[in-house]
Amino acid sequence: EVQLVESGGIEVQPGGSLRLSCAASGFGFDDFAMHWVRQAPGKGLEWVSLINWIGDRTYYADSVQGRFTISRENSKNSLYLQMNSLRPEDSAWYYCARGSDHSGGQYFDYWGQGTLVTVSS
Amino acid sequence: EIVLTQSPLSLPVSPGEPASISCRSSQSLLRVDGYNYLNWYLQKPGQSPQLLIFLGSNRAFGVPDRFSGSGSGTDFTLRISRVEAEDVGVYHCMQALQTPPYTFGQGTKLEIK
């Protein structure tokens, strides 16, 4: 069974940093691209970042470019999102999701349960 | 960036009745391979999104056949032939043609009358 379990979400002050993790199991992690998608409470979904299967290609939404860094450790079946210079508008549930292929995918077929990040003073 | 517009944003439906949700794209999502790069997700209350329909009209594994996706180019529809209580939640469309970024519609909240 495919499982994605996020962790690391907490309340942090504006300007602070945070690292989210996503532990994957039940599939060949290094065969698939991975994504982060976020959802502010009561709002719609926003794609945040993509990393390809080997980790040498990464992409970001304009809203997080230069502040967030996606990475993966295939030996540990883990995905990460380093979040720096956090702003109140970054407050959201953060989901990791599996892309449907190794480069990015035409759809996201599995999602984790999410981890909540709150940026507030 | 491709913009997706869903309608309606709120959809009250009686059990057993049909329902349909529209998703319109600012650009054609039909790729040269013949597939429409438009997907549908359902986010049940308190849960993460789950894939319902991929590439326009293909049901994901385990999705009941009362769900169907149709459309091509810029206009797409998700239909539920007979709504059940377990279908409540927010339905999201997502495009994967011009990426990044992947973009989503605003979401349509389906509720039972």
- The pLDDT-based confidence of B98 (bands split at 50, 70, 90) is confident
Note whether B56 and B40 are within 8 A (CB).
Answer: no
Strand A58-60 to strand A3-7: parallel, antiparallel, or no bridges (unpaired)?
unpaired
The answer to whether A45 contacts B107, with C-beta atoms less than 8 Å apart, is yes
Note whether A75 and A54 are within 8 A (CB).
Answer: no
**What pLDDT does A81 receive?**
98
* B20-77 pLDDT per residue, tens: 999 999 999 999 999 999 999 999 999 999 999 999 999 999 999 999 999 999 999 9
**What pLDDT does B96 receive?**
95
Rounded-to-integer distance, Cα B92 and Cα B48, Å: 12
Rounded-to-integer distance, Cα A104 and Cα A61, Å: 14
| Residue B38, strand partner residues | B95
- Chain B residue numbers with beta carbons less than 8 Å from the beta carbon of A37 are 49
Q: B63 — phi, psi (to 5°)? A: -80, 130
> Could you tell me the strand order of the sheet in which B4-7 lies?
B4-7, B19-25, B75-80, B67-72
**What pLDDT does B106 receive?**
97
**What pLDDT does B99 receive?**
86
**What pLDDT does A29 receive?**
97
Phi-psi map region of A42: left, alpha, beta (phi>0 left; psi -120 to 50 alpha): left
Interface of A with B in 19-78 (CB under 8 A): 35, 37, 44-47, 50, 59-62
Chain B contact for A100 (CB, 8 A cutoff) = yes
pLDDT in tens, chain A (121 residues): 999 999 999 999 999 999 999 999 999 999 999 999 999 999 999 999 999 999 999 999 999 999 999 999 999 999 999 999 999 999 999 999 999 999 988 999 999 999 999 999 9
